[in-house]
Structure 1
Amino acid sequence: MTHVRVKGFKIFKDRHGRMRCYHRATGHKIDLTEAPLGSAEFLAQCETIRAIAVAQKEKGLRAGTLSGLIKGYFETGHFANLAEATRRDYRKCADFLAPIRDTPVHVIDTPLIAGIHDKAAKKIGWRRANMVRTLLSEVFRHAIPQGLITANYAKDVIPKRRPRDRAYANRPWTIEERDIVLSRAKPHVRVALALMMNTGLDPSDALKLRKDQIDGDTIWGVRGKTGEEVAIPVSPTLQAALDSIPAHEAATVLASSQGAAWTYNGFSTVWQ
């Protein structure tokens, strides 16, 4: 039998007499049953692993770890162009993954991601678990063209379904509930709630709405999540709420009790 040597790879026979091969620097393994030693498939896998190792070194990632891939994704233009709420949710997902942040890229596969997905569903719920899966899918999708990983291992993980017996958390408020909330809210909060109730704008879009986007009886805006332009009629109920806004100098329609434009975190604190 001809002895094969490939620079940077360790080729050896294990205690069961089976041939093994792995890349010394990254730990990437080659399955010699699928790519027999010395075959074209074997040599192609060697070149792929070398390219991944070079790309990881050039990117300065943490020795090819999961955290390195996530950090690289957070630095992309794609991530920067996501809605603020989506970026915030993705960072929370990354925080959930922090305990396994040093997982080497070469051990990541679909079963591992499926296991992470299952564990997330038990700890943070089915919806957040699906968001963790989505984040990983985006991370892998953007890392593949850079040669940092070979496949999108999250793509074939089946999303969790909403439990059949779970009540909808965001059901519409009844008219009675709406009236109680508006009657008890402070003026600067009341108008924010009225704006969202009567337009369907989410908090991020409502807080960013500028005074010059209200033209007579129409609100002209763009939904941050979809980029879709919208024209929303101002109902009598909403007009009454707008007329009651405490005077302030902010360019936005809504303002805090100090008269400054709301930040999302600031409004969230008041909401809680």
Structure 2
Amino acid sequence: MTRVKLLYVNRMRDRHGKVRFYFRRHGKRTPLPGLPGSAGFMAAYQAALAAKPSPVATGQDAKGTFSALIAGWYGSASFKGNAPGTRRTYRYDAERFREKHGHRLVADLKAEHVEKMMDAKAETPAAANKLRQFLRQLMKQAVRTKLITADQNPMRGIERLKSNNPDGFPQWEAEHLALFRAHWPIGSKPRVALELLLCTAARRSDAIRLGPQDIRDGAIYFRAQKTGDAVGVPISAELREALDAMPVRPLRVFIATEYGKPFTGNGFYNWFTARAREAGVPKGLGVHGLRKSAACHLAEQGFTVPEIAALGGWKTLALVQHYIRGVDRARMLKNAMARQARLQAKP
């Protein structure tokens, strides 16, 4: 069967395991029906291809609007100073916001409007807080460019929503890892993915780019896309065994699609989540939970918080401390019990 390769088309598997296709350009994602090459698919593809991107605001009539503010923000030092991954996230959020509110005046945005937008996302606090973070950055640009004063900034006093899960993404426990390993043996692609994520504590945006070229002297070296930091992690025995069992062929990346191409971040997330469910791993445990588990695994081996932050590319020590606090509590309890036993053993 001939494979149809089309510009801007992304393929991903949803949480039910169904393959879906999307047209993605200029930060906007449009679902495409059916399969590539079918009449319905090609009609939707041609329509998406012909659609005009959101215009960059120009001219006197656009002055003071969110469209003009966003266009100026893209060219600012504050935006360009972010890591590439962060810039992509902000640009995606900005284009979605501009599509809906680009014609509105920046000076008209009030705190109550922001609170209403966040309230609409109350069932998903992470999404509400992501919107808050984006608007905080955007309104700082509005203050810098004197569209509003610092006192007029509507983001002052806007609080984060409390998460439904204060501990964040659930961590994979030993029994979950055992389930996955029992279902996906050494030599399978899902097993390589698991061991790679667990060994490196890499974000999905980094894990999908790792390949043989990143291995030197028994370690994997890469630069984290989100932070730009250089990361080096010793290869674990489990990862070495999984890599050695991979089919011998020219590899660009360790984890590739069925077509031999690198995954997109979302595509890998959906693919790995589906493989975890097939292995019987409970719903809710995914890629990010493995990153948390990797931090805890390093802590259990005696690595310090700064060492774990350096190995995993975490920017702040506080985040690592938050991840491993359960390990710290268990270690302190174990030490306290050992101390008590020694005291009781004394004559």
Instruction: Give the structure-2-normalised TM-score.
Output: 0.52
Q: CA offsets, 1:40-69, max 9 Å, x none?
A: xxxxxxxxxxxxxxxx98666745322442
Length, aligned pairs only? 214
Contact 1:249/1:259 (<8 A) preserved? no
Which is worse superposed, 252-261 or 191-200?
252-261
SS in 2 for 1:166: coil
Contact 1:250/1:261 (<8 A) preserved? no
Contact 1:83/1:224 (<8 A) preserved? yes
Which is worse superposed, 211-220 or 97-106?
97-106
- Computing the radius of gyration from Cα coordinates, the structure with the larger value is 1
Instruction: Tell me what 2:193 maps to.
Output: 192
Q: CA offsets, 1:123-152, max 9 Å, x none?
A: 5x2222121111112112224333444447
Which is worse superposed, 227-236 or 257-266?
257-266
Q: CA deviation at 1:93?
A: 6.7
Q: CA deviation at 1:267?
A: 1.6
CA distance in 2, matches of 1:133, 1:161: 9
Structural mapping, 1:125-136, within 5 Å: 125-136=124-135
Instruction: Tell me what 2:64 maps to.
Output: 64
Which is worse superposed, 70-79 or 191-200?
70-79
Q: CA deviation at 1:178?
A: 1.2
Which is worse superposed, 166-175 or 211-220?
166-175
Structure 1 gap ranges (5+):
1-55
Instruction: Tell me what 1:4 maps to.
Output: none
SS in 2 for 1:144: helix
| 2:170 is aligned with 1:157 | no
Q: CA deviation at 1:79?
A: 4.0
Q: 1:130 to 1:223 in 2, by over 3 A?
A: same
Q: 1:76 to 1:271 in 2, by over 3 A?
A: farther
Q: 1:63 to 1:57 in 2, by over 3 A?
A: same
Supply the AA of the counterpart residue of 2:258: S
Instruction: Tell me what 2:145 maps to.
Output: 146
CA distance in 2, matches of 1:137, 1:114: 13
Contact 2:83/2:228 (<8 A) preserved? no
Instruction: Tell me what 2:220 maps to.
Output: 219
Q: CA offsets, 1:15-46, max 9 Å, x none?
A: xxxxxxxxxxxxxxxxxxxxxxxxxxxxxxxx
CA distance in 2, matches of 1:199, 1:57: 42
Structural mapping, 1:36-75, within 5 Å: 62=62, 64-74=64-74
Q: 1:189 to 1:265 in 2, by over 3 A?
A: same
CA distance in 1, matches of 2:184, 2:67: 43
Q: 1:79 to 1:193 in 2, by over 3 A?
A: farther
Contact 1:209/1:253 (<8 A) preserved? yes
Q: CA deviation at 1:190?
A: 2.4
Q: CA offsets, 1:192-211, max 9 Å, x none?
A: 22200122111111112242
CA distance in 1, matches of 2:194, 2:254: 12
Contact 1:90/1:131 (<8 A) preserved? no
Contact 2:90/2:134 (<8 A) preserved? no
Supply the AA of the counterpart residue of 1:252: V
Which is worse superposed, 127-136 or 139-148?
139-148
Q: 1:246 to 1:88 in 2, by over 3 A?
A: farther
Q: Percent identity?
A: 25
Q: CA offsets, 1:59-84, max 9 Å, x none?
A: 66745322442344345565454343
Structural mapping, 1:1-272, within 5 Å: 62=62, 64-74=64-74, 76=76, 78-79=78-79, 81-84=82-85, 87-88=88-89, 91-92=92-93, 95=96, 98-117=99-118, 119-122=119-122, 125-151=124-150, 153-163=153-163, 166=165, 168=167, 170-185=169-184, 187-272=188-273
CA distance in 2, matches of 1:172, 1:180: 14
Q: 1:227 to 1:216 in 2, by over 3 A?
A: same
Q: CA offsets, 1:81-102, max 9 Å, x none?
A: 4343662366247536754443
Which is worse superposed, 105-114 or 69-78?
69-78
CA distance in 1, matches of 2:114, 2:222: 39
**Relative contact order, CA 8 A, sep 6+: which one is greater?**
2
Supply the AA of the counterpart residue of 2:224: R
CA distance in 2, matches of 1:98, 1:222: 33
Contact 2:58/2:68 (<8 A) preserved? no
Supply the AA of the counterpart residue of 1:254: I
Supply the AA of the counterpart residue of 1:103: R
